[in-house]
């Protein structure tokens, strides 16, 4: 993937049902629900502690 | 809030559709008149006479040299939209003018800017260079969709549906069962969804076009540039093959699948599709096969999404959908589109 700038990345953890989210501020968190995941990412910087 | 993103570029047609003849297409609820002028450029202006709204594409409206003559009362406009003649009098009212749309012909498409023309920047038009690259052979088409554009965006951002809706064409079990990676570039306005199947069944779409048999490595890398342009970089090769360190990839076949998702009305969409390949160049048999098969796949989506549009139109308000991991990219696209609509 070729991306630049403020990028959110979501990696589906192999062998699991979990999604690993990384904010452009480097904060990371795992989720089981993509809706909750996007709420957290888009809530930046609230709750984003690298 | 607008139901579609304004101040954006949309594909209105293939350049090949527009000749020195009147052509009309509705984009984002706005009927637009096109023709190719004698010097080869494409005009775009409202398809309504300023006098009594008669469509200028409607016979007996006609093109005379590079002027369109309204078939109702004879108001005549030049290729810049300026009214140059009205019936029965010499004075032409100052407001007798059609405001042209910014229009750019690029990568085989005719792009129009819907919004304030002062905000049009042609450099913002996303690119699909393969469609005119001599190193590729392209087949393409456009299907009318009786469904809102967001349903097509949902469909294309989550390719796991290939396994179920397009089995026997492009769907195999591995598409739905392989995890995806998603990236959203907020500044560039690009949503990327990547699914790399390193040991997968080869669907007929690719086995018959490439000659590969048995198991394959199949990579799908989506880049969606809201609102209109979607590209799927499809890589098909023998199991174990990977691109070389220098960026070349001689062991694999490459297909660039391009969609332009253009709202026609709030509940109908122009579904432009193109398939560009870097193998079997100029082979008409392969072109015919890919064109027919891809159109079949697109029509399978059209049937499904038309049904879905009717379901949505009749359901009670506040229906709660369920989203799972496969929807990560689609949710990102919805959010980006909603933000663009809010700004409109």
Give per-residue pLDDT as tens, B151-192. Answer: 999 999 999 999 999 999 999 999 999 999 999 999 999 999
Shortest Cα distance, chain A CAs vs residue B335, angstroms: 9
Question: Is B205 inside any structural domain?
Answer: yes
Check if B221 contacts A (Cβ < 8 Å): yes
Cβ-contact B267, B146 below 8 angstroms: yes
Residue B93 and residue B143 in one domain: no
For A22, nearest residue in chain B (alpha carbons): B183
- Same domain? B210 vs B75: no
Q: Give the tens place of pLDDT for each residue, B90-132.
A: 999 999 999 999 999 999 999 999 999 999 999 999 999 999 9
Which chain B positions have a beta carbon within 8 Å of A13's beta carbon?
Answer: 179
Beta bridge mates, B272: B142, B260
Domain co-membership, B100 together with B237: no
Residue ranges of the domains in chain A?
Answer: 1-50
Chain B residues in contact with A5 (beta carbon < 8 A): 185-188
Residue B87 lies inside a defined structural domain of this protein: yes
Say whether B171 sits in a helix, a strand or coil. Answer: strand
Strands of B146-252, DSSP E:
181-185, 190-201, 215-225, 229-238
10-residue averages of pLDDT along chain A (50 residues): 75 95 96 96 87
CB burial of residue B72 (10 Å; 0-12, 13-18, 19+): middle
The answer to whether residues B78 and B152 belong to one domain is no
Last residue of a domain, one of B98, B124, B150: B124
Domain boundary among the residues B83, B102, B124 is at B124
Q: Are strands B42-46 and B181-185 parallel, antiparallel or unpaired?
A: unpaired
Total number of residues shown for chain B: 344
Judge whether B2 lies within some domain.
no
Same domain, B64 and B137: no
Structure-token match 């790399």, residue found: B196
B35-57: pLDDT as tens digits: 999 999 999 999 999 999 999 99
Domain of B48, in residue numbers: 8-124
Please write the tens of the pLDDT for every residue from B14-34. 999 999 999 999 999 999 999
Q: Does B338 touch chain A (CB under 8 A)?
A: no
Question: Is B196 in contact with B219 (CB distance < 8 Å)?
Answer: yes
The answer to whether the beta carbons of residues B263 and B6 sit under 8 Å apart is no
Q: Which residues pair with B196 in a beta bridge?
A: B219
Position B1 scores a pLDDT of: 87
Residue B136, pLDDT above cutoff 50: yes
Closest CA to B141 of B13, B286, B44, B313: B13
B98 and B205 together in one domain: no
Quick one: pLDDT at residue A4? Answer: 54
CA distance A19 to chain B (A): 7
- B3 falls within a domain: no
The answer to whether residue B167 sits within a structural domain is yes
Distance (Å, whole) CA B274 – CA B141: 6
Chain B residues whose CB is inside 8 A of the A29 CB are none
Percent over 70 (pLDDT), chain B: 100
B273 falls in which pLDDT band (50, 70, 90)?
Answer: very high
Domain count, chain B: 2
* Domain boundary, last residue among B91, B124, B157: B124
Q: Are residues B134 and B117 in the same domain?
A: no
CB crowding B239-276: b at 16 or more within 10 Å, else e: eebeeeeeeeeeebbbbbbbbbbbbbbebbbbbbbbbb
- Whether residues B185 and A4 touch (CB distance < 8 A) is answered with yes
* Global ipTM: 0.91
Structure tokens at B183: 């990236």
| Prediction pTM value | 0.96
Count CA atoms closer than 13 A to B322's CA, side-chain side.
2
The predicted structure's pLDDT at residue A1: 45
pLDDT of residue B306: 98
Tell whether B335 and B218 lie within a shared domain: yes
């Amino acid at each position: 993937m070729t991306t630049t700038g403020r990028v959110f990345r979501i990696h589906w953890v192999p062998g699991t049902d979990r999604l690993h989210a990384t904010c452009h501020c480097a904060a990371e968190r795992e989720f089981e629900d993509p809706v909750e995941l996007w709420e957290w990412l888009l809530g930046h910087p609230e709750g984003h502690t690298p | 809030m607008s139901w579609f993103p304004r101040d954006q570029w949309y594909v209105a047609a293939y350049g090949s559709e527009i000749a020195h003849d009147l052509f009309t297409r509705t984009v984002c609820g706005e009927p637009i008149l096109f023709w190719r002028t004698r010097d080869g450029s494409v005009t775009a202006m409202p398809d309504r006479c300023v006098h009594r709204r008669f469509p200028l594409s409607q016979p007996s409206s006609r093109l005379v040299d590079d002027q369109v003559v309204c078939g109702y009362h004879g108001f005549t406009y030049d290729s810049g939209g300026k009214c140059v003649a009205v019936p029965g009098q010499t004075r032409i009212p100052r407001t007798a003018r059609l405001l042209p749309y910014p229009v750019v012909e690029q990568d085989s498409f005719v792009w129009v800017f819907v919004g304030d023309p002062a905000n049009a920047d042609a450099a913002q038009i996303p690119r699909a260079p393969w469609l005119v690259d001599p190193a590729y052979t392209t087949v393409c088409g456009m299907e009318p969709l009786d469904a809102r554009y967001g349903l097509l965006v949902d469909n294309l951002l989550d390719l796991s549906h290939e396994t179920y809706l397009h089995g026997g064409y492009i769907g195999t079990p591995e598409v739905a069962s392989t995890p995806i990676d998603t990236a959203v570039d907020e500044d560039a306005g690009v949503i990327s969804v990547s699914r790399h199947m390193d040991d997968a069944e080869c669907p007929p779409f690719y086995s018959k076009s490439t000659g590969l048999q048995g198991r394959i490595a199949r990579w799908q890398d989506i880049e969606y540039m809201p609102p209109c342009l979607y590209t799927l970089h499809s890589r098909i090769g023998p199991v174990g093959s990977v691109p070389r360190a220098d960026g070349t990839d001689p062991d694999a076949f490459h297909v660039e699948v391009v969609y332009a998702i253009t709202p026609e009305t709030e509940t109908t969409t122009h579904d432009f599709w193109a398939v560009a390949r870097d193998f079997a160049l100029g082979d008409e048999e392969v072109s015919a096969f890919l064109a027919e098969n891809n159109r079949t796949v697109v029509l399978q989506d059209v049937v499904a999404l038309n049904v879905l549009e009717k379901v949505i139109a009749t359901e009670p308000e506040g229906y709660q959908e369920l989203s799972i991991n496969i929807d990560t990219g689609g949710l990102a696209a919805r959010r980006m589109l909603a933000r663009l609509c809010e700004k409109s």
